[in-house]
Structure 1
Amino acid sequence: MGIQRINPNNLKYVSLLTLTVQNSAVSLCMRYAKTRDGDIFFSSTAVFLAEVVKLITCIGLVFMEEGTFLRLKASVHNAIIKNKVDTMKMTVPSLIYVLQNNLLYVSAANLDAATYQVTYQLKILTTAVFAVIMLRKKLIPTQWGSLLILVLGVALVQLSQGGETRIINVAQNRFLGFSAALGACCLSGFAGIYFEKMLKTSDLSVWMRNIQLSLLSLPLSLLMTMINDYTAISNQGFFFGYDLFVWFLVLLQACGGLIVAVVVKYADNILKGFATSLAIVLSCIVSIYLFSFLLTLQFAFGTILVIISVFLYGYDPNKNNKSTKKSSNHADEESLLDSEPQNV
C-alpha cells in the first residue's frame, strides 16, 4: 500500500539508481573478492550459500503474499509436492544457473571488472538467439543491428586487452576469463528463455518458481562444491576465507536479481538500458582507481558500441502497441530473475 503513494516519477529514479548500483556492485565486488590479498574463499561455496539466502528470501515473499504459515505451507505443497512433474522440469534451469554462477566467478577472477561488465552484455545476444529459436520471437531490424554492434563492441574490448597478467598473488588468464564469461552468457540466455516459457505455461508466481529453482539448485550446487573443492574444503573448511565482505557478496548475489525484478516494473526499456550503461561506466571508473585499470582508446570505443547496442535493443518503435509492450515487459522481468549479477 505504501509504495502506491510514492510518485511514479520518483520510482523511476529509484529504479535507475537501484539498477545501476546492483549491476556494477556485483562485478566490482566479485573482482575484488577474488583478487585481494589474503585467503581466497571457494567460489562453489558462495554459490551454494547464495541459493540458501535466495530460498529463504523467496519463502518470506510468498509468506507475505499468503499471510499465514498454514497458507504458505499449503501453497508450497500444492506447487511443488503435488505438482512433481512441473517441479522436475525446473531441474534444467536449476543446473544451468549453478554452472553459470560458478563460471561467473571464474570470469571475475580472470577479467578486470570493466571488461567483465562489458563482455557479459553478450547475454543480450544469446537471450535473443534462444528467444527466436524457442519462443519463435521475431526481432525488428534495429534489434538485429544492435546485436551486430554488440558483438563488434565486445570484440574490440577483448582485443584491447593483453593475454596473461598477475595482480597481487593471483595469476589471471584473460582467455580463460573470456571463455567463462561467454559460457555464462550462453547458459544465461538458454535458462532465461526456458524459465520464461515455464512461467507462461503456468499460473505460478515468480517467487514460487524461484522457490522451485532454489530447492533444486541446492543439492546441485552442493554436488558442484564437492566435485570442485572437496579436498580443499576437507582440509581448510567450508567457510575458509569468509569474512564480512564475502558474506555481503553472497547476499548481493542472492538478492540482486530479486531486487531488480521488483523495481523493473516501474522502469521502461530505455531506463533499463540507461541503468546498464551507467553501470558499465561506473565499473570502468572504479576499476581505474581500485584495480589500476588502464583505459585505452580501443576499449573506450568498444564500450561505447556496447552501450549503443543496449539502447538500440531496448528501443521499441511500436511502444504504443499494447501487446508488444506487454510481451516486452514480461520478458524483461523474467530475464532479470536469474541469480547472475544477472542476473545482472
Structure 2
Amino acid sequence: MEKVYLKSLTEEQLKEFIKNIGEKSFRGNQIFSWLYKGVESFDEMSNLSKGLREKLSSIASVGNIRIYKKFESKIDGTIKYLFALEDDNIIESVMMKYEHGISVCISTQVGCRMGCSFCASTIDGLERNLKSWEIIDQVLKIQKDIGHRVSNIVLMGSGEPLDNFDEVKQFLKIVNEKNGLNIGYRHITLSTCGIVPKIYELSDLKLPINLAISLHAPDDKKRKEIMPIAKAYSIDEIIKACKYYIKNTNRRVTFEYSLIKGFNDTKKDIEILANRLKGLLCHVNLIPINKVEERNFEKPKMDFVYKFRDELNKRGITATIRREMGSDINGACGQLRRKHL
C-alpha cells in the first residue's frame, strides 16, 4: 500500500484520515500542528502515544526533502538552496530578505517543458511534477534553516505552476491554513508563461493571489521566437483571460518583461506594449535578462532599462525594475541546478 504524505493534506483532510484509521479526530489537529512546527519524524510528536506513532509510520510519511547544498550571497544575504527529493532529483529555491519580511521563490516542477529560450530551468526539459507536499516543504525547510517565518511566497522557481495545476491548487489550500503556515493569499504570487485555460480555472477559484504573466515581448511574432507557448495562445487571449482574473479576484496583474538587448527594447516595442496594456489593472515588472551560458542573449545597459521604464510610465503604464538578488550565487531560476547537473 502506498503511504500517505501528511503534508499533502489540509487540516480537515488530516482529521478525516486519522478518523478513518480508528483514531480520535483531535489527533489530526495535533499532528497538523507538529508538521508546521517543522518536525521531520513521528517520533518527535511527543504528545502522541507510541502505538499511534508506530501505526502512522507504517501507513504514512511526514514527507521530507533535504538541503543538499546552499549558497549565501555576500552582496545581499540571499540564500540559494538545492534540495534533494526522495527520488534524488534536485530542485532549487531562493530565500530573499526584504524590509517587509522574508520572501521565498519556490519550484513547482523538476525542470520545465515550456521551452522559453531565456530560461535555464527548461534546457533539459521536464523530469516530473512536484507533489503538493514537496512544494510546501521547501517553505518549511527554509524557515527551519534560517530560524525566521516566511511571509511571502513566489511560485516562480523551476517549472510552470499551471502545468502542475492540481498539486499547486492543493498547495494553495494548505499554505493558507490558519494552524499551518497561515500565509495570506495576498502574499502569494503565481507566475505563468500564459496557459490560458488554466488562468480561467485559477480565476474561478476566486483566490486573491497575485498573478504574474511572463510576457517578455510586445507582440505575438517576437514572443513566438522566444516562448513556444505563444504558438498556442496569443497575447490577446492572455489579456482577455487576465481581465477575467481581475474581475474574479479584484487583483492587479503583473506582466513580467525580460529586456533583451536589441530584441524587445526599442521605442516601437514600448509603444506596442503600452497600447496593448492600456486601461488594464496591471503593472509591468522589467527584468534585465539574466545571463544563461547556453544562450547568447545580452542584458541592456541599466540607463537604457531606466529609460524603458520611464517611457512606459509616461504612457500611463506603471512600470518598475526588478531588484537583482543573489547575483554572485547564480540567483536566477535554474542556473544552480544546471551547474549541479
Which range, TM-score by smaller chain?
under 0.3
Higher helix share: 1
TM norm structure 1: 0.21
- Higher-strand-fraction structure: 2
TM-score (norm 2): 0.21
The one of the two structures with greater contact order (alpha-carbon pairs below 8 A, sep at least 6) is 1
